[in-house]
Amino acid sequence: MIHLPFLLPLLAAGVVRAMWREHQQGKVFVNSPLGLPDPTTGTAQATLPTHQADKAFDDVGELHHYQKVAWYSLAFAASGSWFYPPATLLSIPLLGYNAYHFTKLIRHTDAAGRKSPMTVFESIALAGSLVTGQATTASVMFLLIFGSRKLLLQAGNIADIGLSRTMDPRFAKMWILRDGAEIEASLREIQEGDVVVIRNGDTVLVEGKVLEGEGVVRQYSLLKKPKSINKQTGDKVFPFTQLKSGCLYIQRV
């Protein structure tokens, strides 16, 4: 158990870092300097002017990030419990970081979800574990909370596309760049590091990072309905989300 004089400042440091991240995400500069060819024309696309646009809450991407932070906090907390006690202190700012984002997550959940008994239980259990300094317990809870919601969103994406379509072998065909040329390949043939070309109306079937391009992706949200999310260079994309407009070059990770 960590004493309050050490616990509170460390938790506060994590919360401050989370607030700074939220501030940085408030606005996003959109620019599309494409050097790769547009798959519809075969020619390089012109650079679009840089402009500032509101950034919507990316439910799947945010949950993926929170879950990753929870794994780190669990690693430090478990190391502190089993091997080197001071390592537990490193997990506390990460728990404060995720605690702030948990409240943010609830704000972006539908009204029924915010008032559900499960959410109330999660809130009370998390508050108790954080106040008493149970770092390992809090880390495991964050993993379960974010992981379960991420699975529900993926299920919503599949339902939005249609389960019968996802079972169709033709659905697993994509265009990838090999030696400067586009070739059609099945999902099982795509390797880590391959660049997948996604056009208007295509469904993203791999998890990856946008190398170049700009587009709007339709994906399921915590409000239990589809949402449009802008994607540009550096953003992550996730399976079973659909590109509504634009062109993306995605590197599989």
- 46, 29 contact by CB (below 8 A): no
Task: State which of 88-92, 161-165, 170-174 shows the largest mean pLDDT.
Answer: 88-92
Q: What is the pLDDT of residue 51?
A: 41
Amino acid identity of residue 65, one-letter, is H
Q: What is the pLDDT of residue 77?
A: 94
Q: What is the pLDDT of residue 190?
A: 84
Q: Tell me: pLDDT of 68 over 50.
A: yes
Q: What is the pLDDT of residue 24?
A: 83
**What value, to the nearest 5°, has the Cα angle with vertex 177 and ends 174 and 178?**
120
Instruction: Tell me where in the chain the CATH 2.70.150.10 domain(s) lie.
Output: 166-252
* Residue range 88-118, pLDDT digits in tens: 999 999 999 999 999 999 999 999 999 999 9
* Residue range 110-119, pLDDT digits in tens: 999 999 999 9
**What value, to the nearest 5°, has the Cα angle with vertex 147 and ends 63 and 89?**
80
Q: What is the pLDDT of residue 30?
A: 45
User: Hey, how many other C-beta atoms are within 10 angstroms of the C-beta on 12?
Assistant: 13
Q: What is the pLDDT of residue 92?
A: 94
Amino acid identity of residue 196, one-letter, is V
Return the minimum-mean-pLDDT range out of 27-36, 89-98, 143-152, 232-241.
27-36
Does the 166-252 domain belong in CATH 2.70.150.10? yes
CA–CA separation, 232 vs 214, rounded Å? Answer: 4
CA–CA separation, 138 vs 189, rounded Å? Answer: 40
In the chain, % of residues over pLDDT 90? 45
Q: What is the pLDDT of residue 47?
A: 42
